[in-house]
Amino acid sequence: MEHNMKQRRIAFIRLSHILAEVSERRQAGPLVVVSGLSPKGVVLDYSKELQSGHGARSMPAVKRGAFLKDIEAAGVAGGVRVVTADFESLEDAHAAVVRTLKDYSPQVTAEKEGEYCIDLTGTKRIFGREIDTCTAVLARINRELGFTARAGIGSNLLIGSLACAVVEEGGVYDISDRAEKEFILPLSVRLLPGIPTGISRDTADELVSSYGIRRLKDLLPFSMEDLSCMFGHEGDFLYRCARGEADTKPVRAQACPSGTLKREVTVSSERNDDWSVRRWLFTLVLDLCRELRERRVFPGRFFLTVVYQDDYRHTKEGRLAVPSFFEGEVYRQLLPCLDRALKRRTCVKKLVLTFSCFTACSLQLSLFKDASRPNRLAGAFDRITQRFGGGTIRYGA
């Protein structure tokens, strides 16, 4: 039976410092996680002890997006370490959190590491009240995985995310249907979800500085046409947010096989020109595509990390425009991402390629050419390498 939207109970769970807490497993004490150790390295995360207003080590200068040189100029307190991000461990931790959440509901989505949405509609008879379920989930994440989390619950994803934004670390805020309007209206517009599913930071700043709109209740006098004229497509989102109607994204169960496929390679220091690095990427794509063909799945998303000799990391995550398990097609889609990374004139030390969001393969039939030829050719190559080894076949430029 379909549940009415007002009967849905959506929990939004945020692990605010998951990247820092992953890094703390390698380094003792409070730390700042940066993208690279150069002066223009960007702060990605920091230990919760360094959060503004948190304990004696409160350091307002430490914030995400700041340059490392600015943090050093402000004077980092003694005992605080600066480390580069460990994205491989972050991916493993992210997968572990998703597995934990799926013990409580099959409807789990995660747009990025540290932010999770779980549909608890209809689970009350199994686990009890939603607020008790979320409390147990947060305790389990902390006990088994070592992460600090907080959660908000509402009738849709917007209400859940806003409730999560105002609750303290380790807490759960459950907003009942009747109280949603009173809860939303006094909130700051800066708490609204960001791009790509919400509003940009520039729009939030413009609301405050140019129009004097600081609270969601200040949006109520404006019609949808007014807001659309002022803010374009974001105006419709603002109109619905002020009335508690906006879902940042529907909660759906993942319709594809779970898990990820990851390969990495250490680039030889003897030949480290752009052409050689591209060949190393093709080697990773080739290896992954062989396994994709064995599983008969297409990858939906990719995560490409380029690690340089100075330990700076260039990362690019995206969706494959043309899902495929043919190495030529996949390589052509990933090559522009690698070429952007190669513009940094520093030797590459390692390449890491991850595929996720798999779907069952379906090859398009063609009326004008033999569309099965690439599949038959790839199958022949796979059988040769399975029998004689991966080095049997060489690929030209």
Per-residue model confidence as pLDDT tens digits over 12-56: 999 989 998 998 887 777 888 887 777 777 888 888 877 755 544
**Tokens read off for 324:** 């495929």
Q: Where are the beta strands (DSSP E) in the chain?
A: 10-14, 31-34, 43-46, 81-84, 108-112, 115-119, 150-154, 172-174, 261-266, 297-298, 301-308, 313-319, 348-356, 359-360
Across-strand partners of 174?
153
Mean pLDDT of all residues in 101-108: 88
The 10s digit of each residue's pLDDT in 299-352 is 888 889 888 887 777 888 888 888 888 888 899 999 999 988 888 878 888 899
pLDDT band at 256 (very low <50, low <70, confident <90, very high): very low
Higher local confidence (pLDDT), 196 or 293:
293
Q: Is residue 211 very low, low, confident or very high in pLDDT (cuts 50, 70, 90)?
A: confident
Q: How many whole angstroms separate alpha carbon 335 and alpha carbon 304?
A: 10
Query: Is pLDDT above 80 for 277?
Result: yes
Domains of the chain: 27-85 (no CATH), 185-254 (1.10.150.20), 261-392 (3.30.1490.100)
What H or E segment, with its residue span, contains residue 180?
A: helix 180-184
pLDDT digits (tens, 9 = 90+) for 154-187: 988 889 999 999 999 999 999 988 888 899 899 9
Rg (CA), the chain: 24
Question: What is the CA angle 70-194-207, rounded to 5?
Answer: 90
Q: What is the pLDDT of residue 298?
A: 85
Q: Tell me the two tokens of residue 80.
A: 């605080």
